Amino acid sequence: INNGDGTFGNWATLWHQPALDAAGLDFNSVSALKPYPTSWDGDLSTLTGQATLLRDFISANASHWFIRLTNGADSNVPPCGAVNINDPQSPVRCEIVPEMDTGDSLVVTGAVSNRTNVPWDADPVALQVDIDNNGQFLGAQETAFAGRPTISDGEARYEYNWTWFSQYSSGTYGMRVDFTNSAYYYTGNSTTLAQTGAYINVTVVGTTDFLTTSVPRLYRNSTTTIQAKLVDNALRPVPDQAVNWTWSGDGRTGVNFTDANGLFEVPFNVSANDPLGQFTLTFAFGGNPLLKGSNVIEDVWIVSRTYMAVVDSDPSFRQSGDRWDFTAQVKDDGKTRDRDAIGSALDGATPPSGGLVDVIFEGTDFDGVQHRQHIATLAPSAGLISLPEPQPDGSHLCFYDANGDGFADRDLDKNGLSREESVGCLRADITPLDPQLLREDPESFLPDGFGPVDVILRFEENLPNEGCAPLDVTTLGIQGVWDACTSVPGNDHFRVVMTHNANGFALIGRTSLDVDD
């Protein structure tokens, strides 16, 4: 905008209304952040005032703008203005700056002739982009295409396509088309000479996204900080921008600002009385003239860190024919993330008040090799679990087949026992303990029939009740660290090891000694 006194106001923004209509966009909505927006009907005669100077340079249809590039030798130029309206010393340029979105493409076309208007295809013509915004077009990185013009219909023509891929951050980029050997050429007329090259500046409006660097679980009666990062389409941080957030749990909202690295933090205080369950945390960035807004919805759980403790177990030393059993408590967190025993008892297999516990026997053979076997999957009853009681007919075994049809009675669909069909039964015949059966079982935890046995109780996560990931039975044969749950923070709440010399057991033989004399 020319103030008429040698000074200039803000840039003005021109919108092509037929194109907006074709795209189903509302002018008032899309122009909200733009300076001095104008809706243009596409008729050159309606460009009046300062906009009259645009008539020789622009045209448009429902999908494309067409803009004529200018050169230093041109006397007919578009409206002029300060490059940076906030800088009193800013240079003044007479130009049209098209605005494009990340992912958009442009096409540069033209023809080359010598001063006698003869088509000139002797030297290559290059399209260059000032990627680093230093005002120079240097190097292969800033040279997009180069090639000799092609003679077509009596003209030496060139045509180049350029796409603003996501690696290009938002901002204004200079572009030019010129000879690769531009030092050997000039343009102009008898009174005005200038360097060759057609120039244009293009503003790219980028996109934004949120990277959640940490979305922790929330625990009752605790304070946790959730951190996220606002980045542009080139994954560069977006600093000093306001981010609105909304928590679905109680409708609380807030505004935080990104730091120099695009990071922001939202501290969350969860009271002892907040309900358990899955909630959403929404981040929203409204955008600015160079970046489009974005929002993301993160699922966040308020969970109970399940508490499991052994109440009782049979004596450690067991012999052939003996039975070994235990009793353990399974409770919720007692409205705190600290380890304690004041929580409410879990009951059943399903959330929100139940879950499943896997029982694994880990035996050691005579060579010191560990063998693990999945013995049972138990659902707590009023907060207590124990091994299934033996039944005279053997129905306490998961593989019990009363009708002799070759399928376990629990296998209702006859396609193998599922986890749900195996709850509350023994996967191995260990009641009573029989060294001979243990030696014959190919998956036995005591292949020698005797030895020490550690018992592992493992609560499987059943949100909102926190626990271990589902048991992967293929890892049971790994020597050393085999269970990823041991690296989960707080796993001592919901994963218990009953060692053989404490509350586990050892199957020992009966030794007899005969003295002849």
Query: Which amino acid is present at 513?
Result: L
Question: 415 and 307: one domain?
Answer: yes
8 Å CB contact between 404 and 392: no
Question: 497 and 388: one domain?
Answer: yes
Between residues 87 and 59, the one the model is more confident about: 59
**How confident is the model over 294-353, as pLDDT tens digits?**
999 999 999 999 999 999 999 999 999 999 999 999 999 888 777 666 789 999 999 999
Q: What dihedral angle (degrees, nearest 10) is formed by the CA atoms of 335, 338, 342, 345?
A: 70
Does some domain include residue 310? Answer: yes
8 Å CB contact between 198 and 179: no
Distance, CA of 383 to CA of 24 (rounded, Å): 60
What integer pLDDT is reported at residue 456 of this predicted model? 98
Does some domain include residue 254? Answer: yes
8 Å CB contact between 186 and 71: no
Question: 253 and 391: one domain?
Answer: no
Question: 119 and 82: one domain?
Answer: yes
> Across the chain, what does the average pLDDT equal?
92
The domain tally of the chain equals 3
Between residues 85 and 158, the one the model is more confident about: 158
What integer pLDDT is reported at residue 6 of this predicted model? 59
Question: 494 and 394: one domain?
Answer: yes
Question: 219 and 261: one domain?
Answer: yes
Does some domain include residue 49? Answer: no
8 Å CB contact between 175 and 200: yes
Does some domain include residue 14? Answer: no
Alpha helices in 12-111 (DSSP H): 17-23, 27-30
Distance, CA of 202 to CA of 174 (rounded, Å): 6
Distance, CA of 363 to CA of 372 (rounded, Å): 6
DSSP helix/strand/coil, 31: coil
Residues in the chain: 517
> pTM for the whole thing?
0.78
Cα atoms in the 13 Å half-sphere on the side-chain side of 39: 13
Range of the domain at 395: 303-505
Of the candidates 131, 161, 196, which is a domain's last residue? 196
Among candidate residues 356, 486, 496, the one with its CA nearest the CA of residue 418: 356
**How confident is the model over 347-368, as pLDDT tens digits?**
999 999 999 999 999 999 999 9
DSSP helix/strand/coil, 204: strand
Question: 244 and 331: one domain?
Answer: no
> Which residue in the block uniquely carries the two structure tokens 């929002």?
295
DSSP 39: E
**How confident is the model over 452-504, as pLDDT tens digits?**
999 999 999 999 999 999 999 999 999 989 999 999 999 999 999 999 999 99
Q: If residue 362 lies in a helix (H) or strand (E), which one and from where to where?
A: strand 356-364
Among candidate residues 189, 171, 150, the one with its CA nearest the CA of residue 72: 189
Take residue 207 and report the two structure tokens written for it: 């996109």
Distance, CA of 97 to CA of 312 (rounded, Å): 79
Cβ count within 10 A of residue 58: 20
Distance, CA of 62 to CA of 18 (rounded, Å): 6
Does some domain include residue 466? Answer: yes
**How confident is the model over 183-208, as pLDDT tens digits?**
888 888 767 788 888 999 999 999 99
Distance, CA of 503 to CA of 456 (rounded, Å): 11
Of the candidates 135, 166, 196, which is a domain's last residue? 196
Sheet containing strand 208-214, strands side by side: 208-214, 222-232, 263-270
Does some domain include residue 37? Answer: no
Cβ count within 10 A of residue 325: 14
Does some domain include residue 320? Answer: yes
Detail the DSSP E strand segments found in 365-412: 370-378, 384-385
Question: 263 and 379: one domain?
Answer: no
Question: 307 and 446: one domain?
Answer: yes
User: Residue 464: is the preceding peptide bond cis (ω within 30°)?
Assistant: yes
Q: If residue 355 lies in a helix (H) or strand (E), which one and from where to where?
A: none
Check whether 130 has a pLDDT greater than 90: yes
Sign of the Cα torsion 167, 173, 178, 184 reads negative
Residues 6+ apart with CB under 8 A from 152: none
Does some domain include residue 511? Answer: no
- Region of 117 please: left (phi>0), alpha (psi -120 to 50) or beta: left
Of the candidates 172, 196, 220, which is a domain's last residue? 196
- Note every long-range contact of 41-45, with CB atoms under 8 Å and residues 24 or more positions apart, other chains counting: 41/17, 42/16, 42/17, 42/18
Question: 162 and 278: one domain?
Answer: no
Question: 311 and 172: one domain?
Answer: no
- Return the CATH number at 256: 2.60.40.1930
